[in-house]
Structure 1
Amino acid sequence: MTLLAQILDLAAMPEGNIPASARSMARFSLFDWLVCGRAGVDEPLAVILRNYIGAEGGLPVASVFGGTQVPARAAALVNGATSHALDYDDTHFGHVGHLSVGIYPAALAVGEALGASASELVDAFLIGAEASVRIGMVLGAGHYNRGFHQTATAGAFGATVAAGRLYGLTRDQMRMAIGLCATRASGLKSQFGTMGKPYNAGIAASNGVECAGLARAGFTSADDGLMGAQGFVLTHADVPHPSPPPGAFLFEDVKYKLHACCHGTHAMIEALAALKHAHNLTPERVASIHLRTGTRWLSVCDIKAPRTGLEVKFSYNWLAGMVLAGIPTASDRAYTDALAHDDLMADFATKITIEGDAAVTDMQAVGQVQLKDGGNLPFAYDLAARLPHTLLENRLRVKATGLIGAEGEQIWAVVAALDNLSAGDLGKRLR
């Protein structure tokens, strides 16, 4: 089966065939996405985009975080960027991308415009997210290491599938939508540390609404925009990987951020936090730290001398210092420009060496802390283990309260009552 045929089959999956466990994870992602979006409404990039879209006018059919209602494609753009502004949203390491911020905005925008139910919206997201993961895995590490941001590239295909499912596209129309997305999907890692990174998520969502909408209207495209000659995969990947076989939902391996920084640093943070707790570890006791991490992260979160609070989120050296100094990595407010220029943090950063190791996966951190008294503390952590749903719920609700206070529990109550709600009801939570 070709990759395109697999994606088309997935897009048409009857709702009764969707695993309940995958649907539960999709609801966790909805909750986390809504919280991250509400927390990002006052970020400068969110204000700029709301003002920009507001000046364009158009049919007010879809809700915007912190705003009113605007055209669906515009809402997807603003909501994707706003919800990724804090870089605190979910990640799937199978294709190294953020799923919710590129796909839920497209699904919600179309769902509101059509009057869909909230359950239909979640299923559309889930199918789109699964498509995104599978396409991202075919693109492989070479695509990401070349400089492409898969939240925006593979994510755009997921957004297209989600929007197309809600629009009720025929199989041939979905093929056309995916072909259009192949010529539209874009996003570069060179934007990391700037407003351009969250903008990439908005681009993915907006592209999904646009491509699905055009296909619905009869727009045509290449027959196979994914794997066809000069299609997206063959032009954007060094050596395409085999398509994962149909079956279990790979989406279920999605991971949620419990620290407001690049997900590639979280295994290190968890490992050092455990050492701090077990050994009362402080920066003053440390002679050196040696970290071994997945090689791909060296071009993402190994900024040696961050200049801004945003860049601190992509700096192993600074984040290690934050953990041992007791600065809360879970609080977005901790990542200030002043912290980036703190002399004590800069001095501690010189004690840390980072090594890329092909034997260490993207979700692992391995290393050792050398103490000034001669002691040695080895550490290791792996994010791959799935948390029980009850524990995951608790940690996400704690995160939500820390980000947006009592509104976090209000949003949880909405998601818990999802079966009785419409997409429009969810839209109200954005406004």
Structure 2
Amino acid sequence: MTETSVPAPGQSISEQIAAYAAEFDASHIPREAQARARELMLDATGIALASHGYPFSERAMAAIASLNAGGQSAVIGSATRLDIRNAALMNGILIHGLDYDDTHARGVIHATSSIFPTVMSLAADLNRSVQDMVSAYVLGVEVATRLGSVVKGGFHQVGFHPTGLIGAFGCTVAAGWLLGLNEQQLVDAQGLVLSMGAGSMEFLEDGAWNKRMHPGWAAVSGITAATLGKHGYKGTRLAYEGRFGLYRSHLGEHAACDLALATQGLSKEWEVTQISVKPMPACHFTHAAVDAAIRIHRQGVRPQDIERIEVLIPQEVIKTVCEPQDSKRKPANSYEAQFSIPYLVGTALVHGRLTLDDIDPPALFDPAVLALAQRIDYRADPDSAFPKYYDGEVIVQLRDGTTIREREPVNRGASDRPLSRDDICIKFRDNAHRQVSPERAEVIESLFIGSDAGMSARALAESLGQTETVSA
């Protein structure tokens, strides 16, 4: 493995993280980081509510309920109660299922979709406060985003989804803190979850539902590993940098990693404030190109005017959103559409928007969009700043010979171009109103944005599990 820097001699990465987590003082979390954490959890809750209207959530709930062994853990937007791990699995599926959840750009990871279900289920079961739940969430995010940043987008290149793979480690540390693990137990827990974290990108080939369960499975793994660690079950010490540790086993001997990033800035820099909230329900890698296409539409360009389109996209994301080209130009289902530059850019050029309705039937069979998608090509963007930004450019050649170019150097919602609290609340309401009444949505919003006044995590979870639905 090639490293630009390594951990302190004699101390493994998991030992450094364990020492940090064991002494983690929630009172030291800056107010800005705490506020951002609550906004991110609110955003996730709205997406979870919206997901109830889709077949994947119904089928997941039926399967998980059939495996359930009893328990009183809440599922967002459902009267069903499950055991701790099954509730975390289901909530992870609901939050990530529409691919509308937040992203940490440098780590290329959807941290909230695994860590929030973990801390919600566990903090409620332990009857901890909402503040403890928020603190555990922040701790998990700080760990997971750094571990993802080490590889600089490398996991995607070899077919691993870091949200499931790396998310399991963040969930383990967050769960371990709530469970009161000491340093050695936290080291053991990280070593144990090395054998549990997973997430294959093969779903890209056929639009399968695998990816939707990755964050929830990371939550299950984290709760399991932390509990084993608490009871003295021994885990490997070199979970990350070992000969068969995380990075070598998943990336091979010649992967370029900066191992120092795994712990850099802990307690000094707060990565939770760097997480991007998605303004559109599609793979974050596509957003810049979609926004560029929307601007071209607003200039009065219409499909009949267009000869061809070229999209410039970061080299590192081409395998995810541009290939194989034939299936990307005609996605067979909603999930394929969410990872398709031709379909999404085509939709933006035709309709000047991208909403949840634009990735579902009958929109998937819109002849104008599909015809335009056939004229969309791509190439690697030589000026990309990936992974700091998920940038993109759209170049449209008109039939009269005119060329129109629009570039989005910093994707909307990025840490340097964040959505405001008002933007996040509007997005939450739009999503929540698909499942619950405006009055119920207002109550939920107040749980995260208002003062919780010492509210317990159990009371919050129970409130999220209420089922007042939109009137027919």
Aligned to 1:409: 442
Indicate conservation of the 8 Å contact 2:106/2:153, yes or no: no
Structure 2 SS opposite 1:151: helix
Is 1:371 equivalent to 2:398 in the alignment? yes
Aligned to 1:4: 14
Aligned equivalent of 2:64, options 47, 53, 60: 53
Aligned to 1:229: 243
Indicate conservation of the 8 Å contact 1:87/1:260, yes or no: yes
Is 1:15 equivalent to 2:26 in the alignment? yes
The amino acid that maps onto 1:252 is: T
Structure 2 SS opposite 1:140: coil
Matches within 5 A, 1:333-352: 333-352=357-376
Structure 2 SS opposite 1:69: strand
Q: Report how far residue 212 of structure 1 moved.
A: 0.9
Aligned to 1:184: 196
The amino acid that maps onto 1:430 is: G
- After superposition, the C-alpha distances for 1:57-111 in whole angstroms (9 at most, x for unaligned) are 4342311132422211111111111211111100111121111111110111110
Q: Report how far residue 385 of structure 1 moved.
A: 5.0
The amino acid that maps onto 2:292 is: A
Is 1:216 equivalent to 2:230 in the alignment? yes
Aligned equivalent of 2:38, options 27, 30, 35: 27
Aligned equivalent of 1:114, options 113, 126, 149: 126
Residues of 2 paired with 1:80 and 1:148: CA distance?
A: 18
Indicate conservation of the 8 Å contact 2:52/2:58, yes or no: yes
Indicate conservation of the 8 Å contact 2:84/2:121, yes or no: yes
Q: Normalised by the size of structure 2, how large is the TM-score?
A: 0.86
The amino acid that maps onto 2:447 is: V
Indicate conservation of the 8 Å contact 1:88/1:261, yes or no: yes
Indicate conservation of the 8 Å contact 1:308/1:336, yes or no: yes
The amino acid that maps onto 1:356 is: A
The amino acid that maps onto 1:86 is: L
Deviates more, 1:398-407 or 1:93-102: 398-407
The amino acid that maps onto 1:159 is: C
Residues of 1 paired with 2:230 and 2:357: CA distance?
A: 43
Indicate conservation of the 8 Å contact 2:46/2:431, yes or no: yes
Aligned equivalent of 1:323, options 348, 358, 382: 348
Residues of 1 paired with 2:415 and 2:399: CA distance?
A: 33
Is 1:97 equivalent to 2:132 in the alignment? no
Aligned to 1:386: 416
Indicate conservation of the 8 Å contact 1:182/1:231, yes or no: yes
Indicate conservation of the 8 Å contact 2:293/2:352, yes or no: no
Aligned-CA RMSD value = 1.9
Residues of 1 paired with 2:188 and 2:451: CA distance?
A: 32
Indicate conservation of the 8 Å contact 1:309/1:338, yes or no: no
- After superposition, the C-alpha distances for 1:184-240 in whole angstroms (9 at most, x for unaligned) are 101111124221111111111111111111111221111222222311222112423
Aligned to 2:171: 159
Matches within 5 A, 1:31-46: 31-46=42-57
Indicate conservation of the 8 Å contact 1:130/1:251, yes or no: yes
Q: Report how far residue 140 of structure 1 moved.
A: 3.5
Percent identity, please.
26
**Which structure 1 segments of 5+ residues have no match?**
none
The amino acid that maps onto 1:6 is: Q
Indicate conservation of the 8 Å contact 2:164/2:198, yes or no: yes
Indicate conservation of the 8 Å contact 1:259/1:266, yes or no: yes
Q: Report how far residue 113 of structure 1 moved.
A: 0.6
The amino acid that maps onto 1:417 is: G
Is 1:261 equivalent to 2:282 in the alignment? yes
Residues of 2 paired with 1:264 and 1:127: CA distance?
A: 26
Structure 1 SS opposite 2:260: coil
Structure 2 SS opposite 1:225: coil
Change (3 A) 1:142 1:386: closer
Deviates more, 1:205-214 or 1:350-359: 350-359
Q: Report how far residue 327 of structure 1 moved.
A: 6.1
Change (3 A) 1:21 1:10: farther
The amino acid that maps onto 2:403 is: N
Residues of 1 paired with 2:84 and 2:224: CA distance?
A: 9
Aligned to 1:305: 330
Deviates more, 1:13-22 or 1:74-83: 13-22
Aligned equivalent of 1:125, options 124, 137, 159: 137
The amino acid that maps onto 2:432 is: I
Residues of 2 paired with 1:366 and 1:409: CA distance?
A: 38
